[in-house]
Amino acid sequence: MRGKAKQERHHHYVAAFQLAGFTDDGTKAGTLYVIDRELSKEWASTPIEAAKERDYNAVEARPDQNVVERAFGQIESQAASVIHEIIRTRKIPDGPELHSFINYVALAAARVPWMRKVAAAVTNQFLKDHFRQVFNAPGAFEEISQEFAELGSKLDQKGFDEFREHLLGEEVQINMDQTTMVMTTFQAAAEFVPHLSQRRWMLAVLNDDAPDLICSDRPVSLVPPANIPLRKIPDLRDHDTLVILPLNKRMIALGTYLKAKPVTTTGRFEVACLNHYTANGARQVFHAGGVFAILSPDRQSIWDKSQFMASFQRKDDPG
């Protein structure tokens, strides 16, 4: 008797195998603490249950809406064994293993909610600019009113002006459909790969007395150059940036265009800096429940978890 395999409906945007490194026991079933900035709450979960969303990578493809999700799963599966070996040997591999690692870094950077928000904002701005040109072009009223007439509707000058103001206003957001968004994610990951491949990769292992690293729903972060005012949001193509990917609560991968130098010290201050960038722009932060250290937004002090949570606690929250 033949039957269709059940479609998985909940898709991770941060891999469970990576989140396992930030649990109390290093497993997918271990305890993972989730801090949600928008909800101003913290709760205990697991890597299997955290960082996922219903139909997050579903596309309009019949009979298999999970074709992209499965492709992502293959990249994860190949990378999981490579990253486990990196953690065991404390060495970045070369050859096919390095390629699998870079593919995963690209995927981890591209498929997260933060990146989708960026893509949506760029799309909205691009389309608003396009429609602004259409509405402001000579003869726009005549052309658009004719199109309305062909559809059986009448559009006078007042209606045209109101339609233009509404469409170009802030209250209207022009978004991509689900399938386009998912495929844009896939394309972005592919475009990230050559830039990540050009970087030199190294590991930083925490000192025994250093606090733990955290992970987030933006697990791949960029550290901009120190003491240089930012002219724009840095991206993976900028040669003066450092890519960071926490592998577990005690080890982090670093990618640079510069000649890689061994990291000799990763103490409390360095961990607080790394955690600052991992949490930057993220909605959810994941940690193992140990000692917490993160650099304050003004970079003048090191906060613990309670100070970090107080910084975004809602004013109407009695706690």
DSSP state at residue 213: P
Provide the total of helices (H) and of strands (E) in the chain, helices listed first. 9, 12
**pLDDT at position 185:** 86
Give the span between the Cα atoms of 196 and 79, in whole angstroms: 15
Give the span between the Cα atoms of 241 and 218, in whole angstroms: 16
Do residues 131 and 167 lie in contact, with contact meaning Cβ atoms separated by under 8 Å?
Answer: yes
CA 84, 87, 93: angle at the middle one, nearest 5?
Answer: 80
**pLDDT at position 136:** 85
Q: At what angle do helices 67-89 and 95-110 cross, to 10 degrees?
A: 120
**pLDDT at position 247:** 97
**pLDDT at position 232:** 67
- Can you give the pLDDT of all 319 residues of the chain as single tens digits? 343 445 678 999 999 999 999 999 999 999 999 999 999 999 999 999 999 999 999 998 778 889 889 999 999 999 999 999 999 999 999 999 999 999 999 999 999 999 888 877 776 676 677 778 888 888 888 888 888 888 888 888 888 888 788 777 877 777 778 898 898 888 899 999 999 999 999 999 999 999 999 999 999 999 988 765 566 677 888 888 999 999 999 999 999 998 767 676 789 999 999 999 999 999 999 999 988 899 998 888 999 999 999 998 754 454 4
CA distances from 273 to 150, 199, 239, 268 (A): 60, 21, 20, 9
Do residues 241 and 223 lie in contact, with contact meaning Cβ atoms separated by under 8 Å?
Answer: yes
Buried b (16+ CB within 10 A) or exposed e, 211-237: bbbbbbbbbbbbbbeeeeeeeeebebe
Sign of CA dihedral 271, 272, 273, 275: positive
3-state secondary structure (DSSP) of residue 43: strand
Q: Is 62 exposed, middle or buried (0-12, 13-18, 19+ CB in 10 A)?
A: exposed
Give the span between the Cα atoms of 308 and 297, in whole angstroms: 10
